[in-house]
Amino acid sequence: MRLSVLDQSPIPEGSTAAQALHNTVDLGRHAERLGYERYWLAEHHATPALACASPEILIAAVAQATEQIRVGSGGVMLPHYSPLKVAEVFSTLAGLHPERIDLGIGRAPGTDPMTMLALQRDRRQGSPDDFPEQLAELLALLEDRMPGNHPFARHTRTLPGLPERPEPWLLGSSPQSAIWAAELGLPYAIADFINPGGASLAADYRGRFLDSERLPAPRVIACVIAICAETDEEAERIASSGRMMFSLLRMGQLIPIPPPEKALAYLETRARPDGGTSGRRAVVGSPANVRAGLEAVAQEYGTDELMILTITYDHEARRRSYELIAEAMRVRVRA
């Protein structure tokens, strides 16, 4: 089993976004030492909970602070950008860090409608829903597949990191993303933490997959929330912070990551009869129980790689959680 990290750069209540960014770089180093396969940085905007508004800058910082681990975006929300700009940025990163850069591409805005409007350059009308065209243009630029008579053809030869290239991935949590990934022959990262029914997407992706020069066979990563501590009770305690944040997010309330004591008091008033609070699957518990839970998720998706999202109030608890998971799953420690 290969394990990777999805980092959303959580901002604890009473701390600062700047400290959250430093925590991200620190966790990247830690993940490399523990043997994690890749370290992806998310993109979210205008929230007091997460400091990950600029994944490309965080990728540069984490890649510079590490030596072997793959670093990438989880993901770049392509509707906000021009394909050429994304191609140039990730070409630059690949040139600086050869064979280590992943370009995870997403369609979701990663924010609220007003912030999405603020991100637009032209606000006279809404952005067009042309993600498939954007994605095709981005891939053509990165792979030097622009038709010779295309007005952008020369830009494929001027990317700053050539001959190095990032590895593209499609991110998703919907049936349409599975179709696009399969038709384009792209590796597919499924956000189980958004859609815990994503195993059907993996099956559909495999069934539709078309062999390509990009990828000879389908490849899936399942991205799942997991929090581990020495005991089940301690794991549930530290997991409460993220659960409160997600619960309020569902109601349109944005908060920093609360301390466990505050979160536990809140959750006592919100728990559903089934014990859940946010509608999201989370693998939480002691090392043995987390291992069993992660193995079940991997079997459900038919994958040999899981990407772990861990949000806690305390940074040391987050570091320790990834450490215990790596030990439990017997991840090979890097030399």
> Residue 279: is its pLDDT beyond 70?
no
Coil vs helix vs strand at 51: coil
pTM (two decimals): 0.93
Coil vs helix vs strand at 68: coil
Give the CATH number of domain 2-225+284-328; options: 3.40.50.300, 3.30.1130.10, 3.40.50.10090, 3.20.20.30: 3.20.20.30
- Is residue 305 within 8 Å of 295, Cβ to Cβ? no
Q: What pLDDT score was predicted for residue 332?
A: 64
Q: Say which residue, 160 or 113, is predicted with more confidence.
A: 160
Task: Report long-range pairs for 249-253 (Cβ below 8 Å, ≥24 apart).
Answer: 249/49, 250/278, 250/279
Percent of the chain whose predicted confidence (pLDDT) is above 70: 96
Coil vs helix vs strand at 157: helix
> Residue 163: is its pLDDT beyond 70?
yes
Strand pairing of 282-285 and 70-77?
unpaired
Q: What pLDDT score was predicted for residue 140?
A: 97
DSSP type of residue 173: S
> Predicted confidence band at 277 (pLDDT cuts at 50, 70, 90)?
very low
**Domain extents in the chain:** 2-225+284-328
CA distance between the termini of the chain: 18
| Digit-coded pLDDT (tens) for 52-81 | 999 999 999 999 999 999 999 999 999 999
| Digit-coded pLDDT (tens) for 96-152 | 999 999 999 999 876 788 888 888 877 787 777 889 999 999 999 999 999 988 999
Q: How many helices (H) and strands (E) does the chain have?
A: 11, 9
> Residue 196: is its pLDDT beyond 70?
yes
DSSP type of residue 110: S
Q: What pLDDT score was predicted for residue 280?
A: 67
